[in-house]
A = this chain, B = another copy of it.
């Protein structure tokens, strides 16, 4: 059975959401010390979940870490031991009942003491703690959690490489858009609970979909303690609450298997391809005294695969012959889908304060952006349960990376042991979510700056563990794999001066899984984070630099003033600078998303870097400012990702009067259905000037197929304005219209250096 089990199509693991009696909220306090041999006397109030830094900041009145360079004041907190404590009275326990301490996450190395006796220790923030305290209880009890200082791999410099032998997210150790602020402490739901004497502690719902999707063989594996003769009742309900399957009876021992077949299951789809249909699995156990426990979980039925890209098998040609590129084409429920999405990063520097509401807002925005996938980047955390529940509900696929990024994680027995523990916890927590579409070992591990390779044991281990627990979910050791592209991250390459247009037009990749386009944040945000005296003009060495406007990545990133000055002349105000920068972000992102789509079907993915940000940056590649404020590029990207839209392949951004302008006109269609024929009118527009360049009568498309149309050509006319637009109008379908703004390099006498206003 065990062997066969490996190859069954498995999801639905409901063991984690078991009903039980949760005791009144614990009141926590926190203290810190350089040295555990000199225990601290002073305790301050602690918020759980949260972070030690936030508790100290509140108690000791630190300025907000996101303002100016306040974050630097928090540095000393990395090197302290922290002691959380809480007291509680022993609750009344009926015979057989257990009092269990449950925490969904403590960051990062910690020990747990009850009444000064050490009961437990752990390294790793993603493995839930379930600690049975029953036999050690006194009438009055004190629970203490001692958290070690931030782990730092020696002798590395003060950067992400200090995280190279831990499963703690590397991003906190500083990144090109994230300050050095390394969270510690209890970061997810934590409580005491009374578990009944007869208790189900694990329910796994596995299923196998028939090839034609017309039946799901369901297998429910239930286990627990003292279940002999306990009654059970299991129901599967559809989205309307109708019971579609049921099973009931009595336990005969502590394990139970229920086999059922659901005929014609409604499938779970990403929101753009169908309905993210969810059933509900409800298990109730009861005895003469009544219901003992109810365990409820959403279940979605789907099949997700990563298959070869069209045309990839015919490469390479000739001899000597190397292998073909690995697959990078998602197939959902038997349908090849082009995934458009984004790289998700931590929405807070301190994950302890991320709420379901924040996730909900950001996920609604992703649907609005026409995104059907998140790559949850390996530099950050594995999100809380509510993230995945909401992705299930909203129909957004999740590419989940393990917490490895841009480091050489070693073949070291201790690291491998912690990684195995953490990865096993992560896999078993997420495996039941229908939104789970892809596992990845981590970020950019097969590039020189990480230096890991196919022989690295941590990645072989992750391949092995994901195969063992979720053989039905694809696994890749890292991104990019061969044929996938990361970058570029600027509108114009600082060394080659190649613009995003030319760069993308000559590229040939199976998937663009990271590409960025920076812009400054809005004036309103800049004023909130940069002291007034530093605000204008922006300069390196100020809060602008701390907030990633200068020297963040290669070249003069992320503000990229040199590029802005070249196109627009020196900005005369903060407002002008922001507008110019945001225009480039809009046009750059449109160029990449649309070119990636035009390269379908060889290309099958377009995911920008990055979606959101964990604090308010001064400049960044994100399309949403902290906490959830869309930049103009958000709307530009949303347009570029419409399932059906007109599109133009441009050659460059800046033109001169009299130059021959060309652009290739396309109709893009990612829908699983045909689009009726029609007419697209292409115009060149600038101020009051408007000229029709072309009328293209296109015929009915195939489902999920683009149409390459004609190339428009004209001489750039004499124009008054410094910008012009190429406008694509689809007659009778304004929802397909697109437009592209370009700049005109005026001859010297005309040049005014005025701002380009983004609409």
Cβ of A211 within 8 Å of any chain B Cβ, yes or no, is no
Q: Assess whether A322 is in contact with B420, with CB atoms less than 8 Å apart.
A: no
Q: Decide if A162 is an interface residue (CB 8 Å cutoff).
A: no
Closest approach, in angstroms, between the C-beta of A644 and any C-beta of chain B? 26
Per assembly, the copies of the chain total: 2
The yes or no answer to A480 lying at the interface (CB within 8 A) is yes
Q: Which chain B residues lie closer than 8 Å to A322 at the CB level?
A: 480-486, 509
Known: A7-B413, A417-B4. A460 touches B460 (CB 8 A): no
- Distance of A600 from chain B, by nearest CB (Å): 16
- Contact yes or no, A454 B476, CB < 8 A: yes
A467 and B475 contacting across the interface, CB-CB below 8 Å: no
Say yes or no: A321-B447 contact (C-beta < 8 A), given A416-B7, A464-B468, A475-B460.
yes
User: Which of A10-18, A138-146, A277-285, A312-320 participates in binding chain B?
Assistant: A312-320
**Cα–Cα distance between A102 and B416 once the two chains are bound (Å):** 39
A405-464 residues with Cβ-Cβ distance < 8 A to B are 411, 413, 416-417, 420, 446-448, 451, 453-455, 457, 460-461, 463-464
Q: Is the interface of A mostly helix, strand, loop or mixed?
A: loop
* Chain B residues within an 8 Å CB radius of A3: 417, 420
Q: CB within 8 A of A507: which of B307, B320, B483, B484?
A: B320
A47 at the B interface (CB under 8 A): no
Q: Is A503 part of the contact surface with B, judged by Cβ < 8 Å?
A: yes
Report yes or no: A480 in contact with B323, Cβ–Cβ below 8 A: yes
The answer to whether A448 touches B314, judged by C-beta atoms less than 8 angstroms apart, is yes
Q: Which of A451, A464, A487, A515 has the most CB of B within 10 A?
A: A464
Answer whether residue A87 sits at the interface, using C-beta atoms and an 8 A cutoff. no
- A residues 319-340 near B (Cβ < 8 Å) are 319-327
Asked if A738 is an interface residue, CB under 8 A from chain B, the answer is no
Asked if A493 lies at the interface with its beta carbon under 8 angstroms from chain B, I say yes
Assuming the contacts A4-B413, A460-B475, asked whether A448 and B320 have C-beta atoms less than 8 A apart, the reply is: no
Q: Are B7 and A455 in contact (CB under 8 A)?
A: no
Cα A420 to Cα B467 in complex, Å, equals 13
CA distance A476 to B463 in the complex (A): 13
Residues of B within 8 A of A417 (CB): 3-4, 7
CA distance A416 to B307 in the complex (A): 20
Interface residues on A, range: 35 or more
CA distance A326 to B323 in the complex (A): 12
A7 to B512, CA, bound (A): 35
Query: Provided the pairs A3-B417, A467-B464, A482-B482 are in contact, do residues A512 and B448 lie with their beta carbons within 8 angstroms?
Result: no
- Nearest residue, chain B, Cβ from A413: B7
B485–A320 CB distance below 8 A: yes
Q: How far is the CA of A8 from the CA of B446 in the complex (A)?
A: 24
Contact A326 B453 (CB under 8 A): yes
**Residue numbers in B under 8 Å from A457 (CB-CB):** 7, 467, 471
Cβ of A51 to closest chain B Cβ, rounded Å: 31
| Interchain CB contact under 8 A, B324 and A446 | yes
- Determine if A308 is an interface residue (Cβ-Cβ < 8 Å): yes
Q: With an 8 A cutoff between CB atoms, is A342 at the interface?
A: no
The answer to the question of A53 belonging to the interface, with a C-beta cut-off of 8 Å to chain B, is no
CB pair B461–A467 under 8 Å, yes or no, is yes
Q: Is A306 an interface residue (CB 8 A)?
A: yes
Instruction: Choose from B313, B321, B325 the contact partner of A485 (Cβ within 8 Å).
Output: B321
**Binary interface encoding of chain A residues 468-504 relative to chain B, with 1 for a CB under 8 A from any of its CBs, else 0:** 1001001110101111111111000100100000010
The answer to whether B320 touches A486, judged by C-beta atoms less than 8 angstroms apart, is: yes
Q: Is the CB of B460 within 8 A of A319?
A: no
Specify which chain B residues have a CB less than 8 angstroms from the CB of A305 in the assembled complex: 455
C-alpha spacing A8/B457, complex, angstroms:
12
Contact A6 B416 (CB under 8 A): yes
Chain B residues whose C-beta falls within 8 Å of the C-beta of A496 in the assembled complex: 318
Q: How far is the CA of A388 from the CA of B420 in the complex (A)?
A: 34
User: By the criterion CB–CB under 8 Å, are A455 and B474 in contact?
Assistant: yes
**In the bound complex, what is the Cα–Cα distance between A24 and B6 (angstroms)?**
44
Contact with B along A623-652 (1 / 0, CB 8 A): 000000000000000000000000000000
Contact A487 B321 (CB under 8 A): yes
Q: Are B453 and A488 in contact (CB under 8 A)?
A: no
Determine the chain B residues whose CB is within 8 A of the CB of A446 once the complex forms.
Answer: 323-324, 326
Per the bound structure, the CA–CA distance linking A483 and B448 in Å amounts to 16
Chain B residues lying within 8 Å of A460, measured Cβ to Cβ, are 463-464, 467, 471, 475
In Å, the complex CA distance between A488 and B486 comes to 32
Least CB distance, A64 to chain B, in whole angstroms: 36
Most chain B beta-carbon contacts within 10 A, residue among A319, A326, A464, A476: A319
Beyond the given A7-B411, A319-B493, A460-B464, please list 7 additional residue pairs across the A-B interface where CB-CB is below 8 A. A313-B448, A319-B485, A320-B503, A323-B482, A324-B446, A455-B474, A460-B471
What 7 pairs across the A-B complex have the smallest Cβ distances?
Answer: A320-B485, A319-B487, A319-B488, A464-B464, A323-B446, A313-B448, A326-B454
A-B CB contact pairs (8 Å), 12 listed: A8-B413, A308-B453, A313-B448, A320-B487, A320-B503, A322-B480, A322-B481, A324-B453, A326-B446, A454-B476, A464-B464, A464-B468
